[in-house]
Amino acid sequence: MLEAFFSSFLQVLEPATFLLALLGIAIGFMVGILPGLGGAVTLALMLPFIYDMEPVQAFAFLLGMWVVTATTGDITSVLLGVPGEATSAAAVLDGYPLTKRGEAGRALGAVLFSSAIGALLGAFFLALSVPIVRPLVLALGPPHFFMLTLLGLTFVVTLSGRDILKGFLMAALGMLVALVGIDPQAGVPRYTFDQLYLWDGIDLVPLVVGLFAGAEVLQLMLSKTSIANRRPTGRLAGIGTGVRDTLRHWSVVVRSSAIGVGIGLIPGMGGTVSQFIAYGVAQQTSKRPERFGKGAIEGVIAAGANNNAKDAGSLIPTVAFGLPGGVGTAVLLGAFLITGLNPGPEMLTTHVDVTFSMVWILVLSNLIAVAVSFLLLRHLVKLTFIPGTWLVPFLLVLLGIGAFTANNSFNDILVMIAAAVFGVIAIHWGWPRVPFLLAVVLGGLAERYLFLSHSLEGWSWLKDPAVIAIGGCLVLVLLWPRIRARRRRRGGVGADTAADSPAPEKDIVRGG
C-alpha cells in the first residue's frame, strides 16, 4: 500500500501528466473567478478531451480543474458578494462585509489560507480512508452495491430541494433515459423508436455537456450582460493579517474540514449543505456569535476550509462505491467510465495507484492555486467583467466540439442541444437537474447489479442482514424530511434554519 502511495506521486510528476494538471489548474482558475459557470460545468465541457488519455493523466487534468474552482470561487465571493461557485455562497456572508469595511485583503488571506489547509486535511482523510474502506468494499457483493446505488439516488431525491416530488420525478425520468438502448440481458432494443443511433443508448458526454454547460451558456446568452456587474470596494491590503487569523483560529479550520469530509461522504448532500453546516457550527461555538453576517473572520475561515475539504470527502463514496457525492463527482463518474475504470473494488485493488494519485493531485492543485491567487489577487477580479457577448461564441464552439468528439456523430450535437434546452427549463421552473443526471449515470449500474444479484442468488439476497440494514437506511432517508419538518413545527423553528437545507437550484446556479 505504501509503495503504491509513493509510486503514484511519481506518476503525477511525470512531465506529460504534470503539464495536463497545470492546464487543468489554469482552466479551473479562470472558471472559478467567473460566477455562474462552475466546476461541474467545466468538467462537462472538458470531458470529451480525455478519451485518449491514460487514467492518471485524465484525472490530473479533470481533478486539477475541479478542485481549483472551489478555491478561486471564494475570491469572487469576497470581492463582489457574488459566489463564484454555488459552494462558495457561505464565504459571502462575512467576506463581503469585510470587503465593504476596507478589509478585503484580510478576508482573502483568511479564505485562501484556510482553503489550502482544508485541502491538505481533506486529502489526508482520503488517503487514510483507502486502507479502511478497502476490506469493507471487498466484502460486499452485487446485492449490496445495488442497494447502495438506490440509497445514493434516495439521498439526492430527498435533498434536492424543498419539493421532494420534483426530485423523485427527475430521478424517474433519468432512469427511463438510462434504459434507452439494447437490453443487456435479453438483447432486444428498448425505447429506440427504430433509430439506430439509440441502440447504444444516449451517450453520457453530450448529455452532461448540454444539461450543465449548455444550459449555463444559454442563460448567459439570454442575459446579454457581463457575468459580474458590480466592482469591488475597499483595498487589498492586510493579506498577512488574514493568514495569522487562520492560524489563531486553527480549531475552526480543523472542525470545518472534518464537517466537509463527513458531509461529502454522504452521496447527494453536496457542498451547499456542507458549507452552511460548517458556518452554523462556527457561529454556535464562537465567543462572539453576534458578529456573524457582519464581518466575522471565523465565518470566512469556516467557509474556506470546508469548501476544499468536502471535495476529498465526496471522492470517497465515488471511488469506493460508485456513488457520486454531488454534481461534480457525478460528472467525474462519467470520466471513470470513459477511461475504462469501474468504481468499487478495482479502484482499491488493481487500480489503487490511480486512487492515490487523486490524493496527490488534490494536494498539488490546491497549493499551486492558492500560491498563484496570492500573487495575482489585484488582477484576478478584472476577469469577471468580460462581456457575455465575448464569452458565448467561444463557449458555443467548445460545446459543439465537446459533443461531437464523443462519437464523431452529429446526433450527439442534437442530444446536447436538447439537453441544454431541458436544463434551462429545469432551472427556470426550479426542477433539480442533479437527480436526473445521477439516475442516468447510476441507472445502468443498478440494472446490472440487480441482474447479477438475481442470477447468483435468486431472491434470497433480500434476506441478507447487510441488505436489510441498507434498506432500513433507505427508508429512514425517505422519512427524514417529514421527521425534521415535524420537529421544527414542535420547536417553533422558523426561517433561521434555512441554512440546514440546500437552496433551490434556480437560486444557486447563477451564484445568487
pLDDT tens column, 431-461: 877 678 778 877 777 888 888 888 888 888 8
503 Cβ contact list (under 8 Å, min separation 6): 89, 161, 272
- Cell digits of residue 16: 506529460
Instruction: Work out the angle between the directed axes of helices 352-380 and 15-33 (0-180°, nearest 10).
Output: 50
CA-wise closest residue to 444 among 12, 153, 27: 153
pLDDT surpasses 80 at 378 = no
- What is the rounded CA–CA span in Å between residue 178 and residue 421? 19
pLDDT surpasses 80 at 357 = yes
Q: What is the pTM of this model?
A: 0.62
CA-wise closest residue to 66 among 401, 270, 331: 331
Which of 142-146, 263-267, 276-280 is the least confident region?
A: 263-267
Domain spans, the chain: 2-383+410-509
DSSP state for residue 198 in the 8-state scheme: G
pLDDT at 160 (0 to 100): 56
Indicate the pLDDT class of residue 216, thresholds 50, 70 and 90: low
pLDDT at 508 (0 to 100): 35
**Burial class of 476 by CB neighbour count within 10 A (0 to 12, 13 to 18, 19+):** exposed
Higher pLDDT, residue 391 or 176: 176
pLDDT surpasses 50 at 499 = no
Higher pLDDT, residue 412 or 25: 25
pLDDT at 3 (0 to 100): 77
The mean per-residue pLDDT over the stretch 503-511 comes to: 38
Indicate the pLDDT class of residue 115, thresholds 50, 70 and 90: confident
User: What are phi and psi for residue 459, nearest 5 degrees?
Assistant: -105, 10
User: Percent of the chain, pLDDT > 90?
Assistant: 1
pLDDT surpasses 70 at 173 = yes
pLDDT at 22 (0 to 100): 92
- Cell digits of residue 97: 462585509
- What is the rounded CA–CA span in Å between residue 107 and residue 373? 13
Indicate the pLDDT class of residue 480, thresholds 50, 70 and 90: confident
C-alpha 211: how far from its chain's center? 15
